[in-house]
Amino acid sequence: MSEGFAAVDVIRTKRDGGVLSGAQIDWVLDAYTRGAVADEQMAALAMAILLRGMTPGEIARWTAAMIASGERLDLSTVDRPTADKHSTGGVGDKITLPLTPLVAACGAAVPQLSGRGLGHTGGTLDKLESIPGLRTRLTNEEFVGQLRDVGAAICAAGDELAPADRKLYALRDVTGTVESIPLIASSIMSKKIAEGTSALVLDVKVGTGAFMKDLGNARELARTMVDLGNAHGVTTVALLTDMSTPLGLAIGNAVEVAESLEVLAGGGPADVVALTLALAREMLDAAGLSDVDPAAVLSSGQAMDSWRAVVRAQGGDPDAALPVARETEPVRASRDGYVSTVDAWGIGVAAWRLGAGRARKEDPVSFGAGVLLHRRPGDRVRAGDVLYELRTDEPERFPAALAEAEGAVTVTEAPPEQRPLVLERIA
């Protein structure tokens, strides 16, 4: 790599609204990964990008440089078409858990690299680790071997996969630059492209409990990521989905695993089933398996068999009891009527306060903590009916959680209008 650049010149270019050259982008990301560009300099550049934006060409080059900072997995020995899903994160979003084994049971291989929760949004790895014995860190050899043998793996990304992103992500988290669409898109897509999948479906959440509150911003993020994926030879599609209300009835870790098992057993909340099937159809279509009906495979029990195989392959016991919180606190309706709203933000923050989430990446989580909804929008209630219950091992957490959840569930005289779950499709 050329050392012909100074970090301060790259920062000034973007600060003043200029377009970074490909050589500048390649240099600054390589130098930052190696430690030759300091955190404070990259923080200044990230803020300049947040404020000034990036052209499509800059975003494409930035993403390519992040991929080039590490290794790219080779899935050519996997004898099935590969398809993955990425969600931008939400409340009660356990879709990866039933979706991954379902798509594997339909004939695709699913290389599902997942993350941990932060703040009010849950993380797939935290949910999985509530299963006794289950490992979420696999070597590359274990990962590829499991894709060949079982058809799916749900685990953490390896340290050598887009290391520039891991370093930059941590910096953005503490410098107020998380919200930049170019940086979000390149962060997500550099890891997904580097993992080697041939097809990718993006679930971009919109609403109070989502990272993107605004439909226009969500659409821009989805369009940017779809274009990046297709430019790198990954067939990429995005669904914009509603996250104003939590998905399903369970918000937490073990409680979401339990709800996922209900879906795999042929039951579960209607919205979780509907989104699982919608994403499965998109993944199968992108992988060239559009003749397979995921609803039929789900009802046949094959997806549950696939789930059990994944859990066993990663050292977990699919028959082990899941952790259950020791303390519960019900919250009841004060009047008759219909549940009008269940605000995903308030419920998500309450679950975090109960111990289900973390404020910093290194914080532990409580596997049994969380919120169980007893009613969803449109349900009729009478005064005294339980609207939701809080769960934790530490009862001193209840007051803060109750304060966050206050007003999240509203009851009105008339039933609310039904909101669509899938808002748009972007391909």
pLDDT band for position 3 (50/70/90)? low
Residues 369, 255: Cα–Cα separation, whole Å? 8
List the domains of the chain with CATH numbers. Answer: 7-53 (1.20.970.10), 83-313 (3.40.1030.10), 327-412 (3.90.1170.30)
Give pLDDT, residue 362: 73
Q: Which of 186, 187, 190, 366 is catalytic?
A: 187
> Is 85 marked active-site?
no
Instruction: Report yes or no on whether pTM surpasses 0.75.
Output: yes
> Is 172 marked active-site?
yes
pLDDT band for position 263 (50/70/90)? very high
> Is 167 marked active-site?
no
Mean pLDDT rounded to a whole number for the chain: 95
Q: What is the pLDDT of residues 146-179, one digit of tens each?
A: 999 999 999 998 888 999 998 998 899 889 898 8
Cβ 402 vs Cβ 329: under 8 Å: yes
> Is 135 marked active-site?
no
Question: Which residue has better confidence, 117 or 83?
Answer: 83
Q: What is the pLDDT of residues 28-60, one digit of tens each?
A: 999 999 999 999 999 999 999 999 999 999 999
pLDDT band for position 64 (50/70/90)? very high
Give pLDDT, residue 423: 98
Q: What is the pLDDT of residues 341-370, one digit of tens each?
A: 999 999 999 999 999 988 777 778 999 999
> Is 165 marked active-site?
yes
Check whether 1 has a pLDDT greater than 50: no
Give pLDDT, residue 2: 46
Q: Which of 80, 86, 167, 219 is catalytic?
A: 86
Q: Which of 26, 126, 165, 242 is catalytic?
A: 165
Lowest pLDDT segment from 193-207, 268-282, 317-331, 348-362: 348-362
Q: Which of 94, 172, 205, 219 is catalytic?
A: 172
Give pLDDT, residue 357: 87
Residues 286, 299: Cα–Cα separation, whole Å? 22
Q: Which of 191, 192, 232, 375 is catalytic?
A: 191
